[in-house]
Each structure stands twice: as structure tokens, then as C-alpha cells.
A and B are shown apart, each in its own frame.
Chain A
């Protein structure tokens, strides 16, 4: 069951992976050696937060902050499954208290405040804990005057189960990022597959620079919602990184293997 669910995301346990894009059967170790990218078609597989930290930050340099923040169930939300139960299941599945990991580390020797959301935890959606952690990360980056990196990956955006409080996290983190901006901080936003809804409409698109991995789904409204409204066939490659680049919303599309170098280079350009 768990295996089947993982397969859908493209990273099953076992020796072989089937690439969801080119359908090639890929040797798992080979994909892993290539930053979890399909060797046949360059499809970027889902990457857990911990793996992201390993790939992007210097070895053993990450120091996690605010790891003791945990979600609650303020609305007693019940959609046949209690949110509190759902949280327990997600925590057991991922080993994480919620969808965000924040802290400080080094990128090729450059100190940064680093944040990442993990799609595996409730599709990387933003509730109070994600909002609070990212806000604190931005506040710490302001205090320490360090570059801030946020790697976004969220299918749904604001988390429905925390209702209006999730929506207000968008406002909260935006305000913290605006203050960081005012103070002259450098914020590099890295969009990964998928970055949608309230996450896209807040912190993910508030960077000084917006980078995206190739082929990521990025947008505001879901395709089904759009289809239901306009009843028109959606253009080829609609809401992909390449689509956003073409329309002027992304600075650069960067292959996962090059991200570390690219980020380091940008930091050097933006040094005060």
C-alpha cells in the first residue's frame, strides 16, 4: 500500500523506478546518483526535505531551528477523518512534525538561512506551523543579515484543515519577507514540483530572484478548477516552469544538479 502510494510520486522502494514522464524503467541507484533525476528524460522526481538539504547545503553544515513546533487542530476539522488523526498518520509516514524544515547552513562556504517544504507531508500545504517556521526563518535572516533560501513544493497551497488560519499565514509570511526586503536581505526562491495556490500566491513568488526546477507545475488555480470554469483545452505545457519563464515570471530554470552552484553564484553577485 505504502509502496503503491510512493510509486505514484515516482520514488518507490525497490531496485527499479518507473519514470512518470517517459515511462522508462530506471535503475533506482542510478537516479539517486543523478540527484533523483530521470537519466532518460531529465524528469525531476520528488525529493524529500532531508535529501534537499543534503544536495544543496555543504556536508553536515545544516543546523535545524524550531524543530519543536507542532501542529494543532484549532478548528476540530473533520472531513470523515479527524485532522488530528490525519496529522498523526502524516507524522508517522514522514517522520516530520509538519511540512517545513528551516535552519541555517552553508552553500559552498556561504552562510544562509535555509527553508524547505516537503510535498510528502499533506502535499506540502501551509498551515500554522509552516507559516510560523517560515516567518521565523525570515525574521532570523533579517536579524543575522544572511541570505534566505526557500525551496517550495506544495500541491494545495494553504491547508484547508486549518481554514482561515492557513490563509492568514500567507499574510504573516509576506509581512516578514517585506521587512527582510526593507532591511536589504537577499531572498532566493526555488520552485519545485508542484508550487500551487496560496503558496505560489505568497512567499514562493516574493523572492528577489525566482528559480525553478525544470518541468515543475507552478500556478494559482488547479487545472481542474480552470477547466470547470472556462471549458477550454489548456495550452501545451500550461503552468510548467517553462511556461512561466516564457511569460516572464521566473528568472532562471535550473537543473537540480546545478542548483548549488547557481545559488552560490547569485549570492556572490548580490553581496552588499
Chain B
């Protein structure tokens, strides 16, 4: 967890330098010292952020100041026309959906919203969607496909909500429906994990023609805590770290495993230090992908999407070596 000041455990030295800097900045005649400290801070951040452990990455991905879907809507989309409701049960605030414009493109934008303030978090349950959220997402995607509008999915969830109502209303069923339908949705789909890629809750809006991750996001079959609790029997600081390592959940790991197409670089010290710059990089990627996919025939698009997931998995075939 981040401290109340918003710094992560491994950022302590950076934070202390920043404190020092803010004190000096009020003083006259400290120009040289300020310059030196600024340089030192940059060097420190570089050092720390080029050596993040898997668990550190999870903490960065969960940073309370990390930009979320609504932040990107404000930063890089020219317009957002929110469309509510799943036409069956309600309007899940953990997933937002609506028409949006980015560059010269009109898109259907979907994204998990975790919330920054306590009030917002209570409303959207930290980005943990219920079945109605997944149903809403699919409804809007189908409409987009009908009108030839490409879909953008921003993924940022610890996981689908584990609750009584969620089970009663078919959490597994609605996620299953989304995987099934997204695999053959006849319009381009671009997915980007912007923070947390929590298991089925992430995959539920995660089937696309391009699937990428921000540099310090993570994407995993289970949370490190959940994994530690099951396989190590208890989730401690130590076992969480071990589980995070074992799961290979960082963007670099997923790229190596050929699960994602690209890693989108973050500003120095993570997206939370410079949301605007992060937004610009994300926008450049989205626009590039949208342009790439615009002229692909539907038939070709469907075949490529099928083959993209078809090749995933590692196994052996043939007579057993002894």
C-alpha cells in the first residue's frame, strides 16, 4: 500500500529527497543545491524503477494516484457520451461505457473505474464489476459492432466482485458470455491493461485484436494474495512476494510469453507521476492501433483474432521422452 503521502515502501529515499527539495525551494540562494537534488532525484527514480520486483509492480499498478479510466477520458478523449445500464438489472459503476472521440476516430469506450476518493470507491467497488457490468459492456459492444465503431477496453480491476448477489446473478455466466461474444464481435477491439489485470474480471472485457499493457501494470490469473493464500497457505508479505514472482504477471513477462502485443512505456517513476505524459503515450498507441485495424476486412479481422488466442499455451506433443 502507498502511504498517506502517496509514496510506496520502496520509494522512501525518493520521497525524502523530494521533501528536502520542497524545503529548499522556498529559500534564496540555493539554486545550485536545488539543481543537484533534482538531478539526484531523477537518478534515484531511474534506479528504483528499473529494478522493480513483481510485487513492487503490483503496488505501482494499485497506486491510488495512478490514472484511471475517467482520468484518461478527460486527458485524451475529445468527447465522452456515457451510456448507462445493462437493460436487465442495473448500471454497474465499476465499468463505464460510452461513445468517445479520439483523434479522428469515433469509438465505443469501455473501462473499469476503481475510483480515487472513498465516495467514488464505494460507488464503484474498487473496480470490481458485477454480472450487470459485464452485460452492459457486451450490450454496448454489440451496438458498436452494428454501426462499425471500433471498441477500446481499458482494463483496471482487482477482479470480478466476489459476492452473494454477484453469484446469484451469474457472475461466471456473464463473463463466459463476454468471452464467447467478444471472440467473434465484428469490429476492431483494442484492449489495454492500464493498472490491474485481475483474472476473469479483466478478461471479461479483455478479448481483442490488440492486447497491450502499460509498463507497470500487471495481468494475472489470480491475485498474488489469493495465490499465496492457496499455495503457501497464508498470505504474508513474504509469500505475496514469492507468489507475485512465480505468477510472472508483469508486462515484460507477458510480452515474453507472447500474451500481449506491446508494452506501453510509462513516464519516469510511473504513470502516477505524470498522468498527462502517460495519456499522450496511450493516445499515440490507441490511434496507431485504430489506424492499423481500420482497413482490415471483417473476415480477416475475425481470422486474425481467432489465431491470436488459438496459439496461446505451452505443451508437448508426441511420444514421451524417457
Contact = CB atoms under 8 A, between A and B. Distances in A.
A9 to B, nearest CB: 18
Given A164-B254, A179-B306, A204-B176, A170 B246 contact: no
A78 B313 CA distance: 19
Given A69-B315, A170-B200, A226 B219 contact: no
Contacts of A252: none
A70 B167 contact: no
Interface stretch (B6-14, B138-146, B156-164, B291-299): B156-164
B163 to A, nearest CB: 5
Interface string A7-27: 000000000000000000000
B315 A171 contact: no
Contact of B200 (A79, A162, A163, A220): A220
B207 interface: yes
Interface in A159-178: 159-160, 162-172, 174-178
Contact of A220 (B175, B309, B317, B318): B175
Given A70-B315, A160-B247, A225-B226, 8 more contacts: A168-B312, A168-B313, A174-B179, A198-B221, A201-B200, A203-B176, A206-B176, A221-B160
A158 interface: yes
A106 B159 CA distance: 40
Nearest to B306: A175
A200 B179 CA distance: 12
A171 B164 contact: no
Interface residues of A, number: 69
B221 A160 contact: yes
A202 B312 contact: no
B246 A247 contact: no
Closest 3 CB pairs between A and B?
Answer: A221-B162, A128-B313, A175-B183
Contacts of B109: none
30 contacts: A66-B317, A79-B246, A162-B314, A163-B249, A163-B257, A164-B257, A165-B259, A167-B203, A167-B220, A168-B313, A170-B203, A171-B312, A174-B207, A175-B183, A175-B305, A177-B180, A201-B171, A201-B179, A201-B204, A206-B180, A218-B172, A219-B171, A219-B172, A220-B162, A220-B166, A220-B175, A222-B162, A225-B162, A230-B162, A230-B163
B316 A160 contact: no
Contact of B184 (A74, A178, A200): A178
A175 B176 contact: no
Interface string A55-90: 000000000001011111011011110000000000
Interface string A193-225: 000011011111110000000000011111001
Given A78-B246, A219-B172, A220-B172, A70 B180 contact: no
A68 B207 contact: no
Interface string B147-178: 00000000000001111101111111101110
Interface in B213-241: 219-222, 226-227, 230-232
A117 B133 CA distance: 30
B256 to A, nearest CB: 10
A202 B179 contact: yes
A74 B200 CA distance: 21
A36 interface: no
Contacts of A235: 164
Interface string B167-199: 111111101110111011000000000000001
Contacts of B318: 68
A172 B312 contact: yes
A205 B172 contact: yes
Contacts of B247: 75, 160, 163-164
Contacts of B219: 164
A79 B179 contact: no
B312 to A, nearest CB: 4
Q: Chain B: interface residue count, which band? A: 35 or more
Given A171-B207, A172-B313, A165 B163 contact: no
A245 B56 CA distance: 43
B169 A75 contact: no
Interface string A98-116: 0000000000000000000
A74 B259 CA distance: 13
A264 B315 CA distance: 34
A241 interface: no
Contacts of A201: 171-172, 175-176, 179, 200, 204
Contact of B315 (A129, A168, A243): A129
Contact of B314 (A165, A179, A220, A248): A165
B119 interface: no
Contacts of B254: 164
A75 B248 contact: yes
B320 interface: yes
A248 B200 CA distance: 21
B162 A132 contact: no
A249 B173 contact: yes
A121 B202 CA distance: 27
B243 interface: yes
A177 B310 CA distance: 12
Contacts of A243: 168
B319 interface: yes
B163 A226 contact: yes
A70 B259 contact: no
B281 interface: no
B65 interface: no
A128 B163 contact: no
